Amino acid sequence: MPDRVIGPLTLGQFLYLAIAGGVDLLVWFATGTANLTAFFLIAIPVAGAGAALAFVKINGLPFNKFVQAYFVYALKPKTRVFGRVPHLEKSVVAAPAKVEKKAGPPPRPGATEVRSKIRDLSMVLDTAGWSEIKQKRPGIAQIETETPVAETEEEL
44 burial (CB, 10 Å; 0-12 / 13-18 / 19+) is exposed
Closest CA to 23 of 48, 60, 56, 52: 48
Quick one: DSSP state of residue 8? T
State the pTM of this model. Answer: 0.47
Specify the DSSP class assigned to residue 35: -
Across the range 4-22, mean pLDDT stands at: 90
Task: Return the closest-CA partner of residue 64 out of 8, 27, 17.
Answer: 17
Has residue 134 got a pLDDT over 90?
A: no
Name the H helices within 32-147: 36-55, 63-75, 111-126, 132-136
Q: How confident is the model at residue 26 (pLDDT cuts 50, 70, 90)?
A: very high
Mean pLDDT of 143-148: 52
What is the pLDDT confidence band of residue 117, given thresholds at 50, 70 and 90? confident
Domain borders along the chain are 4-75, 111-143
Compute φ and ψ for 10, nearest 5 degrees.
-80, 170
* Cβ(68)–Cβ(76) below 8 Å: no
Q: What are phi and psi of 5, to 5 degrees?
A: -100, -50
135 or 80, greater pLDDT: 80
Whole-number pLDDT of residue 153 = 61
Confirm if 141 and 132 have CB atoms less than 8 A apart: no
Tell me the pLDDT band of 18, cut-offs 50, 70 and 90. Answer: very high
Higher-pLDDT residue of 113 and 20 is 20
Q: Residue 18 CA to chain centroid, in angstroms?
A: 44
